[in-house]
Each structure stands twice: as structure tokens, then as C-alpha cells.
Amino acid sequence: MRKSILIGVCLAALMPATVQAQNVEGRVGKLESEMRAVQRKVFPGGAGQMLQPEVRAPQSEQGPGPGSPATSALADVNQRVTSLEQQMTSLTEQIEQNQNRTRQLQDAFDNYRRSNDARLKTLETGPAPIAAGAGAGGPIESDDQSSDGPSRPTTRPETASRPTTPTPTKVSVEKPSTGDPAEDEYMYGYRLWAAKQYPQAEAQLKKVVAEYPKSKRASYAQNLLGRSYLDEGKPSLASMAFYDNYKKMPEGERAPDSLLYLGQALTKLNKPADACKVYDELNDVYGAKMAAAMKGQVAAGRSAAKCK
């Protein structure tokens, strides 16, 4: 009778440990499942591989004695839980850092948009023309006086005999016709840009983006729009065009190029800190896909912006 009572007491003592071990095993399974989901987000190219815990239970050479299996199992499982929780914390920090970097980049450009609206409008319309008689310390004539308008007396009559500079003749640009509307419209914009007819090229490239947003040429057109502004000496407008291409078409073929040129535009605008953030974003998002030539351009851009 006493033997039966002792056996019952021992079983009762072991049952909480067994139940606790089962609960911890359930926690481990949940943690492992959550960690796989986190790793797929942080390491999308990991092919489903999972980081193994760094803490491992020591291998016992001798079999466990009476009453030890539950204690040993709980110790091993607790070590696994601790290791998994540490790795989950590390992966969560990586995700938060990447999200914070993206938010900072977007906030910087949102602030940049709001603070430069008036200046952008001025750049789009261009400065008011200056009369031929105006010089350093001289009077500025009204806008309606041009080289072919009615003559007016000025305080510097010697300028009246100055020869008029002939207006350069625009090169005729032929519009291609291959049967692919999106391709033809983009190539026409490209030819206008190559001929340095920037305002016409910009209008044409905007048309391509608006009418063919699903075409691969939309990314090309938006990037070339920024380059046209940049070549025209309008880095503010260029930076907006490049940023829109990256933000709205991040999978487009010219999204990496837009980040590269965006860094150059920001450097021209005396915003080296923002340029460095853009180069960091380019390396983080497209670093594995960049060709050697682009990597060299990024290095040169970082050097120009004096990035650390």
C-alpha cells in the first residue's frame, strides 16, 4: 500500500514538469514559425533557409537517471527559446532600421517639395528677359522691348548699334513610326532630348508617362525627363522627376538610374547630406543588381558629395 502511494506521489510530481515541457515546446514552435516569416521579409533571397540558433544544448554521454528526463528537456527547450528570442529581437531591429531609413528619405523629399514650390514655378517660367541696353549699374528695360520691337531711347545710346545675335535654327526631328505607339512616342522624346530641344522633349516625355503608364518605357521616359531638366540647368525640377520615378515605379528598369541622377541633382543643389542618403538607398535596394559601371558612378557621386 505504501509503495502505491509513493508511486502516485512521484507521478503527481512529474506531471507539472511534463505539462510545462509541452507548453514550452508549443512556444518554440510558434517562435520558429514567426522567425521564418521575419526572415523571409528581411532576407527575401534566402531561399527559405532559416538561421540556426547559436545556443545549443550540450550532448549527454550517459542516459538520464530516474526523474531527470523532464528537467533535461526543459533546460534544452529553454535554451532554444532564449536563442530564438534573441534572434527575433535582432531581426526586428533590422526591419525597423530599414523602415526608418525609408521614412527619413521620404520625409526629406516631402519637406523639400513644400519648401521649394515657389522656386519651382519660377524655374518653369524662366526669368524675365533683360533689355539689350541693361548692364551693370544701368537701367533695366521693360519686358515689351525686344530686338525686333520699336526702338526707345536709353541712357546708353552706344548699345543701339550693337548687332543682334541670330536665333539658332532648330533641327527638325522626325517622329518614328514602328507600329508600337509607346515605343514611337518615347523615341521621339529621346530624339528631341538628343537634339537639345529640352522644352519639347520634356512635354513629349510627360505625355509618354501619362498615356502609357504600364509600358516599360514609362520608367525610361520619367528618368529621361529628369535628365532633360538636369541638362537644362534645372536641378530642382530634375530631382522631383527622378524621385517620382523611384517612388512610383521602383521596379522599373530606370529606377536605379533615377536614384543615381537624383544624388547628382541634390549635390548641385548644395544638399550633400541628402545626396548621401540617396546613394545609401541605391546601394541598399539595388546594390546586388548594379553593373560595375554604375557602381563606379556611385563611388564618384559619393566622393563629390563627401559622403562618409
pLDDT at 233 over 80: yes
Encode the chain in three state secondary structure: CHHHHHHHHHHHHHHHHHHHHHHHHHHHHHHHHHHHHHHHHHCCCCCCCCCCCCCCCCCCCCCCCCCCHHHHHHHHHHHHHHHHHHHHHHHHHHHHHHHHHHHHHHHHHHHHHHHCHHHHHHHHHCCCCCCCCCCCCCCCCCCCCCCCCCCCCCCCHHHHHCCCCCCCCCCCCCCCCCCCHHHHHHHHHHHHHHCCCHHHHHHHHHHHHHHCCCCCHHHHHHHHHHHHHHHCCCHHHHHHHHHHHHHHCCCCCCHHHHHHHHHHHHHHCCCHHHHHHHHHHHHHHHCCCCCHHHHHHHHHHHHHHCCC
pLDDT mean over 57-64: 49
Using one digit for the tens of pLDDT, what is the confidence trace for 281-304? 999 999 998 999 999 999 999 999
Using one digit for the tens of pLDDT, what is the confidence trace for 107-122? 777 666 666 665 665 5
pLDDT mean over 45-74: 52
Tell me what the pLDDT averaged over the chain comes to.
74
pLDDT value for 146 = 35
Bigger pLDDT: 182 vs 6: 182
Q: How many Cβ atoms from other residues are within 10 Å of residue 55's Cβ? A: 14
Using one digit for the tens of pLDDT, what is the confidence trace for 11-42? 454 455 555 556 666 776 777 777 676 666 65
Q: How many Cβ atoms from other residues are within 10 Å of residue 254's Cβ? A: 24
Handedness of CA 135, 136, 138, 144 (dihedral sign): positive
